[in-house]
Amino acid sequence: MGTVDYVKDGHVATIRFNRPDKLNALTKDMTKQLLEAIREANDDDEVRVVVVTGAGQKAFSAGSDVTLLDEYGTNWHFRNRVEYNDVLRSLRKPVIAMVNGYAVGGGFELALCCDLRFAGESAKFGAVEIKLGWIGGGGVTQLLTHLVGYGQAMRLILSGDIISAKEAKEIGLVEVLVPDDELEKTTYEYAHKIASYSPIALQTAKHGCRMALSVPLEAGIMYERDMQTICFYTEDKEEGIRAFKEKRTPQFKGR
């Protein structure tokens, strides 16, 4: 029924949805595997950045396998299910979606739950649930509106249209767009680059930007200043200053 693969390469971990014959649609069991992968990434101090992607060339993910939704039972059980997008958003470390092929439905929301979206030219995005009689429940109305603005979010959610990677880049949904054959190289170069930085600084930067989505400006700036203060009293900050003075690459330890 598919798996969620977890692989670590230095300070970068990769989570891969591995059900390419079903467009990497997630099952209940795959959600449990994703939860375990997230826990492992959060608990492993060596992991500083996570890349999320799908196996094969056809899809990043098509979200939930709609043929299996009845497995959730009653409406109440469905409401209180373990939601794979909530699981992904619980990752404390920077997350990059490496989007190959279709990212639609819940798979679109998975991409939205990541901090950055790197896409190949053949990637396609869409909040398609409205065509089936419902809307997404993994954050699409909130995350997409914050990312591309109210009008563009409404346009995509109300129509269920699938858009190209080029259009996604134009409206601010995708941060980096490259030819398909350069996607993996570009994504991992960036991932390993930022993974060389202090993990404390990386996580506090993520927390600060996430805070900006839900609090007033002044409260966000106060939170940012607190996060800066935490960074200023770390060994990594001292190493950064020493390396700058000695004109060498800093060796951050996450302390």
Cα diameter, the chain: 63
154 Cβ partners below 8 Å, 6+ apart? none
HSE, CB side, 13 Å, CA atoms: give it for residue 127. Answer: 25
CA terminus-to-terminus distance, the chain: 41
d(CA 240, CA 226): 19
What's the chain's Rg over C-alpha atoms?
A: 19
The verdict on whether 170 is a catalytic residue reads: no
| Contact assessment for residue 83 and residue 228, using Cβ atoms and an 8 Å cutoff | no
| Contact assessment for residue 15 and residue 52, using Cβ atoms and an 8 Å cutoff | yes
- The one catalytic residue in 129, 167, 184, 246 is 129
d(CA 100, CA 103): 8
The verdict on whether 109 is a catalytic residue reads: yes
- The one catalytic residue in 40, 83, 109, 189 is 109
Catalytic center residues: 109, 129
